[in-house]
Chains A and B, each alone.
Chain A
Amino acid sequence: MKLCEFIRPTSLSEAREALRELGPKGMPLAGGTALHFMQTKTPVTAVDITRLGLSYIRQEGDFFTIGATTPLSDIQRHRAHGWAMHEIARNISTHQIRNVSTIGGNICRVFPWADLPVVLLAMNAHMVIYTGDGKEEEVAADDYFAAQPAKRFNGGNILTAVKVPVLKAHQGFGSVKAARNAAAFSLVTVCALLELDDGRIKTARVSAGSAIPFPHRLPSVETALIGREAVSAVFREAAAKSGTEVKWCAREGMSEDYTRQLAEVSLADALEKAAAYANGRTK
């Protein structure tokens, strides 16, 4: 993407006003690492949003609030009781990219390989969007990721924060990113949030991304889990239902069937991790 101008607003309202006026000729710039993946016919004005105080992680009641321009490396380093975002953040690209790429950049324009949308779908996160005049809108993950979120920002709106629930004692989260090597784009990313009650699964949120065109919840897998015992056989059986709502795609060197098998094995692993977390066996 070519830039014709670079502006550095000093407040959120100033940034939104500039973006609203610029329309399609403007673009928020966070880490700027995704601009290489984007093509536009005409050069755009970059509106730098990294100096607006939107880089932080704080616990507020039942949520961790992550500022939109928080780099992935800060998410990776953060530790707190009931926090589980660090594992997937560590698995995104390289040290240098994680130091620059932000959570907002990863989810405001969703690329098929993006890992955080998968996590945020399973976690039932809420996205906070500044809509101007001091007003904010909070959008739940299912709604936010129902379609390409980039449309929401066309009018100059700016994502300000992501609210991730603090995991409770009986809840557990697990994620698996299958890739050729540690820095590679995902072949398939899957996440699971389980709530256990006396060894049985009370609620489940399961999601997938990368081997499908757009990140997606997997309701058939969730239904196959609820009320059942949290054991490996049940996880494998549930994982086998994933093909009901998504069609796993063939990728470079991987047949459709290979992708499906990889996804099912990864799902079973993510469910094991989530159950182990809920049972307090892992950090």
Chain B
Amino acid sequence: MKADQNTVSFTLNGELKTFATEPDEKLLTLLRREGYRGTKYGCGQGTCGACTMILDGRAVYACLLYAKQAEGRSVRTIESAGTFEEPVEFQKELIAAGAVQCGYCIPGMVMSATALMETETVFEDEIVREYMDGNLCRCTGYEKIWIALRKVLDRREASDKAGNNSSAKGAK
């Protein structure tokens, strides 16, 4: 039970990793220290969503979790979502909609949207709002982010209706 106090092991973006840590360290601090800087530090107290990542399939705030809470679990950060050269569908739509201003909130938005798309099959506005309600954007007024997300979700719903399960691959 008193496992090593100064290490933590978890699957990070699909790869099992062990990191040095200490009991009081936050998961966000560890990730950023280890070079995973896509996950942002905004408020540090669970109110802005900039640090959103996915823990065992659920969107969570990395700033509130102790690194050791992740032991043995699966952690996914924005680094798993897409690259500059090959953005994922939602990232492409964000760019197309002009929904990115300073960009600080965007990694968190993408991770919340990822959790939404991986968990739900029906994307009624009410459900979408619920998944996105923990991500603040101080620049855009949300309108364009919403338009971009809605495009991706509408496409998925249409594709699911047409019986095509490969909708996750998305538009080019």
Chain A interfacial positions (CB closer than 8 Å to B): 2-10, 14, 18, 29, 32-33, 36, 43, 45-46, 48, 50, 73, 90, 93-97, 99-100, 182-183
Contacts and interface: CB of A to CB of B under 8 A. Distances in A.
Nearest to B126: A90
Q: How large is the interface on B (under 10, 10 to 19, 20 to 34, 35 or more residues)?
A: 20 to 34
A182 B134 CA distance: 10
Overall SS of chain A's interface: mixed
Contacts of B58: 73, 99
B101 to A, nearest CB: 22
Contact of B133 (A9, A29, A94): A94
Contact of A8 (B3, B55, B65, B131): B3
A96 B60 contact: yes
Nearest to A73: B58
A96 B134 CA distance: 6
Most chain B CB neighbours (cut-off 10 Å) among A10, A73, A94, A183: A94
Given A3-B24, A95-B112, A100-B64, A48 B130 contact: no
Contacts of A14: 1
B46 interface: yes
Contacts of A94: 46-47, 49, 133-134
Nearest to B65: A32
A51 B42 CA distance: 30
B52 A96 contact: yes
A100 B55 CA distance: 10
Interface string B15-41: 000000001100000000000000000
B61 to A, nearest CB: 5
A62 B41 CA distance: 46
B172 interface: no
Interface stretch (B66-74, B90-98, B160-168): B66-74
Contacts of B45: 36
A9 B71 CA distance: 13
The 4 tightest CB contacts between A and B, nearest first, are A94-B134, A6-B23, A99-B58, A96-B134
Contacts of B59: 95-96, 99
Contact of B1 (A2, A9, A46, A50): A9
A96 B61 contact: yes
